[in-house]
Amino acid sequence: MNGPQDLGGQMGFGAVAPERDDPLFHAEWEKRALGVTLAAGAMGAWTIDESRHARECLHPADYYASSYYEIWIKALAVLLQRHGFVTADELVEGKALVEGARPKRTLKAADVAAVLAKGAPCDRPVSAPARFKAGDRVRTRNFHPRDHTRLPRYARGKLGVVEAVRGGFVFPDTNAHGKGENPQWVYTVVFEGREIWGETGDPALTVSVDAWESYLEPA
């Protein structure tokens, strides 16, 4: 979706503001926000794609006014309600009121190290051969789906060159909506800066995205 998350090339956000002391967390609640979000995700009720989509579905005014962990918590509340674990009343009251859905699993403290060290690889076999190879010229599709997608707006309808075939990966555009993993080939596609940004673009700039096969057409 053309949501607030799709920031590449947007203007008006000012200078990047690196911090001198660079703290990992800026408040105690941010630590809990990280841990609660990961622990809730470990129930296995939703995918990383669904959680990303929940964040980008925040109203743009809310998204831009929120810090990063605020965005996480607001999206987590949506996911927990959508999947029946928590009700709106409970969020208001701040305590459990009804039974609610039961998870497939819960993350135990003793398993945290192993679970984090294992991660969740999302490469998958794809039965069809790869349509493109390194060196192929491609054009990204110019689409504007209402659903989740990982092709940024700045890179739509643009001519690029396939630099590498990365293998088969879960397709987020369907996986975010519970419509299956439908793995596709993923390619690193490189664009000249001026192809994306026009004649005022930096002539020494190239930008790449990692694109699922259905984002691409031969050119």
Partner 1 sequence: MAARVRALETILTQKGLIEPAAVDAIVDTYETKVGPRNGAKVVARAWCDPGYSDWLKQDATAAIASLGYTGRQGEHMQAVFNTEDAHNLVVCTLCSCYPWSVLGLPPVWYKAPAYRSRAVIDPRGVLEEFGVHLPAQTKIRVWDSTAELRYLVVPMRPTGTEDLSEEELAALVTRDSMIGTGLALEPYQP
Tokens of 48: 């990383």
- Contact flag: residue 218 with partner 1 (CB under 8 A): no
> What six digits make up the tokens of 49?
């794609």
Interface with partner 1, residue 59, by CB under 8 A: no
Whichever of 89 and 217 has its CB closer to partner 1, that residue is 89
Tokens of 219: 């050119």
Residue from the set 20, 104, 118, 146 that interacts with partner 1 by CB under 8 A: 118
Alpha-carbon gap, residue 142 to 151, rounded angstroms: 10
Q: At its nearest, how many Å lie between partner 1 and the CB of residue 206?
A: 5
User: Residue 174 interacts with partner 1 (CB under 8 A)?
Assistant: no
d(CA 148, CA 90) in angstroms, rounded, equals 29
| Contact residues for 145 (Cβ-Cβ < 8 A; gap 6+) | 1, 173
Residue from 157, 179, 205, 217 binding partner 1 (CB under 8 A): 205
Verify binding: residue 14, partner 1, rule CB under 8 A: yes
CB of 122 to partner 1, least distance (A): 5
Tokens of 143: 């689409």
Query: What residues numbered 121-150 form the site for partner 1, per CB under 8 A?
Result: 121-123, 150
